[in-house]
Amino acid sequence: MTSKEEIVNGMKEAILTYKKEECLELAKQGLAEKIKPLELIQEGLTTGIQELGARFGRGEVALPYLMVGAEVMQKSLEHILENIPKGEYKPKAKMVIGTVKGDIHDLGISIVTAVFQANGIQVFNLGRDVLKEKFIEKAEEEEVDIIGTSALLTGTMFEQKVVIEYLKKQGLRDKYIYLIGGGACPGQDWCDEIGADGWATDVLLGLAATKKALAEKKGIEL
Binding site for ligand B12 (CB under 6 A): 46, 49-50, 52-54, 56-57, 63, 66-67, 70, 97, 102-109, 111-112, 148, 150, 152-155, 179-184, 200-203, 206
Nearest distance in Å: CB 143, ligand B12 = 18
Q: Which is nearer to ligand B12, 26 or 46 (CB)?
A: 46
CA 221, CA 21: separation in Å to the nearest integer?
41
Nearest to 45 by CA among 21, 73, 7, 24: 73
Nearest distance in Å: CB 25, ligand B12 = 21
Q: Which is nearer to ligand B12, 24 or 32 (CB)?
A: 24
Q: Which is nearer to ligand B12, 34 or 58 (CB)?
A: 58
Nearest distance in Å: CB 55, ligand B12 = 8
CA 191, CA 26: separation in Å to the nearest integer?
38
Amino acid at position 209, single letter = A
Q: Which is nearer to ligand B12, 35 or 49 (CB)?
A: 49
Kindly tell me the number of DSSP H helices and DSSP E strands found in the chain. Answer: 10, 5
Q: How many CA atoms lie less than 13 Å away from 188 in the CB half-sphere?
A: 2
Nearest distance in Å: CB 88, ligand B12 = 22
Assign 148 to helix, strand or coil.
strand
Q: Which is nearer to ligand B12, 85 or 186 (CB)?
A: 186
Element of type H or E holding 177: strand 177-181
Nearest distance in Å: CB 49, ligand B12 = 5
For 70, which DSSP code? H
